[in-house]
Amino acid sequence: DTGVSQNPRHKITKRGQNVTFRCDPISEHNRLYWYRQTLGQGPEFLTYFQNEAQLEKSRLLSDRFSAERPKGSFSTLEIQRTEQGDSAMYLCASSIGQGATEAFFGQGTRLTVV
Amino acid sequence: GENVEQHPSTLSVQEGDSAVIKCTYSDSASNYFPWYKQELGKGPQLIIDIRSNVGEKKDQRIAVTLNKTAKHFSLHITETQPEDSAVYFCAASQGAQKLVFGQGTRLTINP
């Protein structure tokens, strides 16, 4: 296990379609975070999990977005009825989760909505 | 909530010279300040971090300083090399909570 793994790396979808991304965190990392990054901007927080519990959701996470982390292992982020404004890089990160600890990012999934 | 401002947005230096990137934060409860390097098409890579009980930390050519009173922290890269060219992000958080990122600095090292 060499790091956070995200799949797919790229996704092109038509507006209105649903998409799902997967994140596999570093083993034994209890915290898992989702961020969104648009071109020329820093990552923006979407949501995070402590084990299987979703502890916080950003206002950016509209009701079309849902994230899960069953059994506290991998996580999925689903976007329903995609819009062109959803086009962005979706980044996943994980950390051990105790105290102020380092968060390690995956390579991201680049979503293009056409 | 926390707000992080980062300057400059672009920085160009000659190879071998030093580069300094500065960030300010708004929430005095923030206690963890990492710096990430992001290359084109890749995820952010943690390069150094500092916690609020420390004023300075150094790792080879990279150093970070923190001024809690003024709520600002800086990244210093000495003896810059072409492979240092990338976008650098500062961030702030409370413990292992969410990170709030700055807007990024595109660093270009000129040979």
Question: pLDDT at position A88, please?
Answer: 97
Q: Over 80: is that where the pLDDT of B95 sits?
A: no
A53-A66-B32 Cα angle (round to 5): 55
Give pLDDT, residue B36: 98
Distance CA B62, CA A21 (A): 34
Q: Classify residue B96 as left (phi > 0), alpha (psi -120 to 50) or beta.
A: alpha
Say whether residue A77 is in contact with chain B using an 8 A CB cutoff: no
DSSP type of residue A16: T
Strand partners, B107: B11, B86
The pLDDT of residue A99 is above 70: no
Report the C-alpha gap between A21 and A89 in whole angstroms. 11
* Residues A24-75 pLDDT 10s: 999 989 999 999 999 999 999 999 999 999 999 998 888 999 999 998 899 9
Mean pLDDT of B65-91: 97
Q: What would you measure as the largest C-alpha separation in chain B, in angstroms?
A: 41
Q: What is the pLDDT of residues B35-56, one digit of tens each?
A: 999 999 899 999 999 998 889 9
Q: Which amino acid is at B14?
A: Q
For an interface test with A, the pick among B33, B57, B99, B101 (most A C-beta atoms closer than 10 Å) comes out as B99
